[in-house]
Structure 1
Amino acid sequence: MKADYNNIKVIGFDADDTLWVNETYFRDAEQEFALLLSQFETPNKIDQELFKMEMKNLPVYGYGVKGFVLSMVEMALELSNHTVSSKTIEKILDIGKDMINKPVELLDGVEETLKSLSRKYRLIVATKGDLLDQERKLEKSGLLHYFHHIEVLSEKESANYSKLLAHLDINPSEFLMVGNSLKSDILPLVEIGAKAIHVPFHTTWQHETVSQSVADNADYLTVDSINEVLNYLNQ
Structure 2
Amino acid sequence: SGAADWLLWVAAFTLIATSIIAVTKDNLKARLAYSTISQLAYVTLGVGLATSMGIVGGTMQIVAHALGKITLFMCAGAIYVATHKTEISQMRGLGRLMPFTFGAFLLGSLSIIGLPPTGGAWSKWYLVMGAADTQQLVMIGVLMGSSLLAIAYLIPVVARGFFLPLADQEDRPQAPGHEISTIRWSDMREAPLWCVVPPCLTGILSVLVYFAAPTIAAFISPILGQ
Question: Which structure dedicates a bigger proportion of its chain to helix?
Answer: 2
Report which of the two has the higher share of strand: 1
TM superposition score normalised by structure 2: 0.30
TM-score normalised by structure 1 residue count: 0.29
